[in-house]
Amino acid sequence: MLNAKIPDGPLEHKWASYRSRTPLVNPSNKRNLEIVVVGAGLAGASAAASLAELGYRVKCFCFQDSARRAHSIAAQGGINAAKNYQNDGDSVYRLFYDTIKGGDYRAREANVYRLAEVSANIIDQCVAQGVPFAREYGGYLSNRSFGGTQVQRTFYAAGQTGQQLLLGAYSALQRQVGTGSVQMYSRHEMLDIVMIDGKCRGIIARDLITGKLERHFGHAVLLCTGGYGNVFYLSTNAMGSNVTAAWKAHKRGAWFANPCYTQIHPTCIPVSGDHQSKLTLMSESLRNDGRIWVPKKKDDNRKPGEIPEEERDYYLERRYPAFGNLVPRDVASRAAKERCDAGYGVGASRMAVYLDFTFNMKRYGTVEANKQGLRDPSEEEIMRMGKAVVAEKYGNLFDMYKQITGEDPYEVPMRIYPAVHYTMGGLWVDYNLMTNVPGLYALGEANFSDHGANRLGASALMQGLADGYFVIPYTIGNYLSGEIRTPSISTGEQAFADAENNVRDGLDRLTGIGGNQTVDHFHKRLGKIMWDKCGMARNREGLGSAIGEIQSLREEFWKDLRIPGTQHELNPELEKAARVADFLELGELMCHDALHRDESCGGHFREEFQTEEGEALRNDEQFAYVAAWGMNGKNWDLHREDLKFDNIKIAQRSYK
C-alpha cells in the first residue's frame, strides 16, 4: 500500500490545515537552496517563476528554443474555475464533484478538492498578469461551458486560451530571468536524473546546439515535462512532446501510475494520408455551438447538405439527452467510433462524423436580426449574420480547419474524428506532488494525480497552473525545510560522472547502430500498434499480442536504426531517436497496465467490460486503485494506492 501523505481532517479543511502546519524555509535559507525545473509549460513556467519569487535559486530547462513554446500553448478552449460568476450554481464542491465523476472515480479525492479550491486564484493571478480573457460589454469576465458539466465555469481567450495563459506564465518566468533568480536553459533536454544517497540531486542535460552533456545540481528536481501521447505517433501533441524525462526518472526508481489512461479527444481533424505527421484538434468549445451527426443510412454518399433533417442521426443527443453534445470526451469519442465502425461514417475514409454549425448559425442570425430590428429578414441575411457571430467566437479555428482540409466549414459541416490528445497517467506523486523518489517532483500532465481515468475539458490548464502557482510553492517547503543543512553538492561527484557517462554511452549506442531505417519508420509502426490495440478500445487478446509486437519492434529498432551524424552537434534525428527509444519501452508498460485492469473506466475501455448499452463498466470492487508501476529489471512491479471516496457516492457514470 502506498502512502499518499494526505492530510487528516475533513476534505474541505485538508489543504488549509496543511498550509498552516507545513514547515517553512526562512528567506535566507531559501537563497541557498537550488531547484531544477525541467519543462517550461504551464506547470514548469509557473513553478519556476513562483519559486524564484519566494527566493529559491532556480534553473529551468526546455528543449524548445524559448520557454514560450511549450505545448501548453496549443490548448484552445479554456480553463475551469469555480468562481460562480454566472450565478448558475457552481461551487468548489461542484467542480470537485464534476472532476471526480468525469475521471470515472479513479482520481484521488484530496488532490482534486485542492485543485477545485485553488482554481479561482488562478484566474485572479492570470488577470493580474495581463492575460486578456474574453470579456462582456460591461467589462466583466465571460464564461462558457465545456463537456461533462452543466454550469458555465470556463474562462477563455478566443480559441487561444492556452497560449494566453502560457504567455502569462512565461512573462512571470522572464521577469525572474531578468532579475537573475532563474537561470534559463533553452534548447536543453534532460536525459537523466542523478541520485545521491537515495535522493534526487540533479540532472544530466544535453545542450541541443553543441551536443555537450551538462551536469546540474538541485536540492530538488521538478519534472514538468508534459504527457506521452506521442507514443501513438499521431496525436494532437507537438512533434517534440516526449516521455523521456519521466521515463528516465522511472528507470531510476520513480513509479509510473496508470499509464494506460489515455484521452482520445472527439473533435479532431481526420487523418488525410500516410504523410500525416500530427493531428489537429478542433476545440471542444465548438461542441457548444455545433451539433454532431451522421446519416441514418449506411454508406450514404450524398453531400451533407443534401441529407434532409429527418435522415440525420444526432446520435449524442439521442443517446445522452441530458448532456447531448456536451458529454465528456471519452463518451463522445467512443460514440463516434461506434457509429463509424457500424458503417455510418462520412468522408472519403468513412472514419469521420459531422460537426454542424448550421443550426446555431441560424439561431444566432435570428437573434442578431431581432437586435438590429430587421423585419422579415431573408434566410441569406440570417445566415450571414449568424456566420459573423460564429466567426467572432471561433474564427481562428474555422480558418485553421480550412487551411488544413481545404474545405470551408462555414459552408459545409466539419468532418471530425477522435484522436489521442492527453495522457492522464504519469509519474505517481503524493499529496506534495513528490514522486516516490525523495526530492523528485512531478507537476502538470507529467504526473497522474487529478484527472483519474478521464480528464474533463478545460481542466488541464487548471491543473498545470494550480500545481505550479499554488501547490508546489507550499509543498516543496515540506521537503526543503529538511535540506537547509545540505550544502550544494559538487557536480564533480561520482554519481554525476556515472550518470553522464551512462547518457553518453546511450547516445553513442544509438548513433552506432548503423542500420537502414529512419526513426520515423519505427515511430509510425509503434503508433499503429498502440492505436489499433491500446487505443480507443482494447481487449485482452489485442493487448497480449501488442506486447509481443512492441518487444520485437524494439529489438528491430536497436538493430536497424540509422542516424546520421554524431551526438556532438545539433542533431534532430538523434533527439527523435532517443525519445522514440523511450516510447518503445513505455508502450509496453501501457499495454501491460491496460491488460491488468480488467474493467472499463474513462479513457480505458476494455471491450470485455461494457454494459448492454455499450457504456464503460467499472469494477470498483477490484480496481478502485491507482496502479503505480515500479521498474524491476525487465519487468514491472505493481504498487497499489487504494482510492477512498468518503465525500462522493461512487456510482455508474451517467450523462443521460
Partner 1 sequence: MNITIKVWRQKSNTSPGEFKMYSLSDVSPDMSFLEMFDVLNEQLVRKGEDPVAFDHDCREGICGMCSMVINGQPHGPLRGVTTCQLHMRSFNDGDTIVVEPWRAAAFPVLKDLIVDRTGFDRIMSTGGFVSVNTGNAQDANTLLVPKPDADEAFGAAACIGCGACVAACKNASAMLFVAAKVSQLALLPQGKVEAKSRAERMVAQMDDEGFGNCTNTYACEAECPKEISVEHIARMNREYLKAKLG
Q: Which of residues 191-230 bind partner 1 (CB under 8 A)?
A: 209
Longest pairwise C-alpha distance within the chain: 83
422 contributes a contact to partner 1 by CB under 8 A: no
Asked if 414 is part of the footprint of partner 1 (rule: CB under 8 A), the reply reads no
Q: Which of 403, 494 has the CB closer to partner 1?
A: 403
Q: Where are the beta strands (DSSP E) in 241-389?
A: 256-257, 262-268, 291-295, 312-313, 353-356
* Cα distance between residue 588 and residue 553, in whole Å: 11
Binding mask 77-96 for partner 1 (x = CB under 8 A): ------x-x-----------
Nearer to partner 1, 2 or 74 (CB): 74
- Distances from the Cα of 396 to the Cαs of 108, 134, 168, 392, 546, in angstroms? 36, 15, 20, 9, 39
183 in contact with partner 1 (CB under 8 A): no
Q: Which lies closer to partner 1 via its Cβ, residue 194 or residue 281?
A: 281
570 binds partner 1 (CB under 8 A): yes
- The verdict on 565 binding partner 1 (CB under 8 A) reads yes
Among residue numbers 597 through 636, which ones bind partner 1 (CB under 8 A)?
none
Looking at beta carbons only, is 46 or 435 nearer to partner 1? 46
Binding mask 41-60 for partner 1 (x = CB under 8 A): -----x--xx--x-------
Tell me the three-class secondary structure of 157-198, residue by residue.
CCCCHHHHHHHHHHHHHHHHHHHCCEEEECCEEEEEEEEECC
- Residue 507 CA to its chain's centroid (Å): 28
**Is 57 noted as a catalytic residue in this protein?**
no
- Closest of 105, 79, 80 to residue 91, by C-alpha: 80
Instruction: Give 396 or 545: the residue with its C-beta nearer to partner 1.
Output: 396
Q: How far is the CB of 195 from partner 1 (least distance, A)?
A: 30
Q: Which of 9, 23, 132, 544 binds partner 1 (CB under 8 A)?
A: 132
- Binding residues among 227-256 for partner 1 as defined by CB under 8 A: 236, 238-240
Question: In whole angstroms, how close is the CB of 80 to partner 1 at the nearest point?
Answer: 14
* Contact code string over 361-400 relative to partner 1, x by CB under 8 A: --------------------------------------xx
Residue 135: φ, ψ to 5°: -130, 160
Cell numbers given for 441 = 517532483
Contact assessment for residue 397 and residue 283, using Cβ atoms and an 8 Å cutoff: yes
Of 373 and 564, nearer to partner 1 (C-beta) is 564
Binding test (CB under 8 A) with partner 1, winner from 17, 66, 370, 611 = 66
Residue from 10, 27, 89, 138 binding partner 1 (CB under 8 A): 138
- Return all residues near 508 (Cβ < 8 A) that are at least 6 apart: 567
Q: Which stretch binds partner 1 (CB under 8 A): 269-277, 492-500, 536-544, 634-642?
A: 269-277
Catalytic residue among 206, 287, 329, 538: 329
Q: How long is the chain? A: 656
* 3-class SS letters over 496-560: HHHHHHHHHHHHHHHHCCCCCECHHHHHHHHHHHHHHHHCCCECHHHHHHHHHHHHHHHHHHHHH
Task: Give the one residue of 7, 29, 91, 127 binding partner 1; rule: CB under 8 A.
Answer: 127
Q: Which of residues 153-182 bind partner 1 (CB under 8 A)?
A: 157-158, 160, 162-164, 167, 170-172, 174-175, 177-178
Residue count, binding to partner 1 (CB under 8 A): 85
The residues in 499-538 that bind partner 1, with binding defined as CB under 8 A, are 516, 518, 520-521
Tell which one of 408, 541, 569, 642 touches partner 1 (CB under 8 A): 569
Torsion (CA) 425, 429, 430, 431 in degrees, nearest 10: -80
User: Shortest distance, CB of residue 73 to partner 1, whole angstroms?
Assistant: 5
Contact of 187 with 209, CB cutoff 8 Å: yes
Q: What is the separation of C-alpha 52 from the centre of its chain, rounded to a whole number of angstroms?
A: 25
Grid cell for residue 8: 487528516
β-pair partners for 629? 256, 638
Nearer to partner 1 by Cβ, of 100 and 165: the residue is 165
Distance (Å, whole) CA 416 – CA 286: 11
Residues tagged active-site: 329
